[in-house]
Each structure stands twice: as structure tokens, then as C-alpha cells.
Structure 1
Amino acid sequence: MTQAPTTTMTGDSHGSYPSYLIGFVLAVILTVASFAAVMSHALSPGMALAALTVLAVVQIVVHLVFFLHMNTSTEQSWNLMCFIFAAASVIVIIGGTIFIMHDTAINMMSR
């Protein structure tokens, strides 16, 4: 049996073995770095949280680029716009929820 080509109707590629391997290695390195930042107890709790946040954002970018193949090309513009809209919606919902919970705690529960 022959393997089907990995192109879509527009002709763009879905990635290659080396790009998946690079993405996997970067994801493993970032995961190990996250565990090391917490388990070594070398950082204060605030610095550990900041390190985890930075490593998480970098890992999200690695996954988006290497596994979901998101980039700024014209073929990916709709996918990128949908992702940005979804991310903005999640940020607004989570930020609004945190704001409401904090405001409620300040105004009602601290009396």
C-alpha cells in the first residue's frame, strides 16, 4: 500500500518528521524544565510561579507552531484569527470571573 500525501486541497504541507521531532524535543525540554523549577526548591514560590508561567507560554507557542502548524502565512490567516478570537474570549471570561470574585470578596465577605 502507498501512503497518501500529506497535503491539503490548497497544497500546503502538514509538517515533516524533522519538524515534529524538533517540536517533541522542545516540549520535553520545557516540561523537564518546569518540573526542575518546582522540584529543586531553588526558587522562591513567587519566582517559581513566574518561571512556570513563562515556560507554559513558551510551550503553548511550541505546540501551536510545530504541531498545529500555525503561522502568519496567508493560508493560515483564518486559523490564526480564530485562535486569537478564542484566546481573547478566554482571557475576558477568566479575567472577568476573577474580577467579580475579588470584588465580591472585598465588598461582602470582609465585613
Structure 2
Amino acid sequence: MSSESQVHSSAGASQSSHQSYNVGFLLAAILTLVPFGLAMYPSLPRQLTFLLVLLCAVVQIVVHMLFFLHLTTAREQRWSLVALVFTVVIIVLLVGLSLWIMYYVHANMLGL
């Protein structure tokens, strides 16, 4: 009897996993089509279009992390989340400091 309940519980987990993937795919497709439509049919000001595309990109990153990579704040995922935060900090530092250095080199070369 216990093996029968295990089969039903694993089938339920598989069903919810498929539903999670389907929801993630639908959200990812919508978040791809919206910026594509904004770029193909420009009807908004450029700054607003840029901000909407950037917002869709950030939301799509979150959708991919939640629905496909299954990154949550659960205890089992703690180290994966720490590694992700560390990676983001390193990338922000690398890009930010590189831009800062290039700005000051450019300013000093022109004598501004």
C-alpha cells in the first residue's frame, strides 16, 4: 500500500513539474514577443521602448531562474543562490569598473 501511495505522489510531482515548465515557457515566450513587437513596430518614444525592453529582459531572467533553474530561497538551494549572488557582484564590479576606467581615460586623453 505504501508503494502505491509513492507512485501517486511521484506522478503528482511530475505533473506539477510539467505545469511549472509550461508556465515558464509561456511567460518566456510572452517576454520575448513583447520586445520584438516594440522593436518591429515602433510606436512609443525611444526611451520608453528601451526601458520596456530592459524591464522585459530582467523579468525574463527571473522567470528562467525560477521556472527552469528552480532557484529558490529553500534550504537546499542556499549555496546555488550564494553562487549566483557572488557571480552577479563580480560581473557588476567588472563591467562597472571597466566603464569607469574607460570614461576617465577618455576624459584625460581629450583634456576635459
Q: Structure 2-normalised TM-score?
A: 0.81
Residue of structure 1 equivalent to 2:51: 50
1:79 aligns with 2:80: yes
Match of 1:59 in 2: 60
Q: Greater share of helix residues, 1 or 2?
A: 2
Residues paired across the two proteins, number = 99
Residue 71 of structure 2 is matched in structure 1 by 70
Secondary structure at the residue paired with 1:71?
Answer: coil
The offset of 1:109, in angstroms, is 3.1
Structure 2 equivalent of residue 106 of structure 1: 107
Which amino acid counterpart does residue 95 of structure 1 have in structure 2?
A: G
The amino acid across from 1:26 in the alignment is L
Unaligned runs of 5+ residues in structure 2 are 1-9
Q: Classify 1:54/1:110 alpha carbon distance in 2 versus 1 (closer, same or farther; 3 Å).
A: farther
How far did 1:106 drift? 1.4
User: Offset at 1:20?
Assistant: 0.5
Q: Distance in 1 between matches of 2:48 and 2:82?
A: 33
Q: Deviations over 1:75-110 (max 9, x none)?
A: 100000000000110011001111111111112136
TM-score for both structures, normalised by structure 1: 0.82
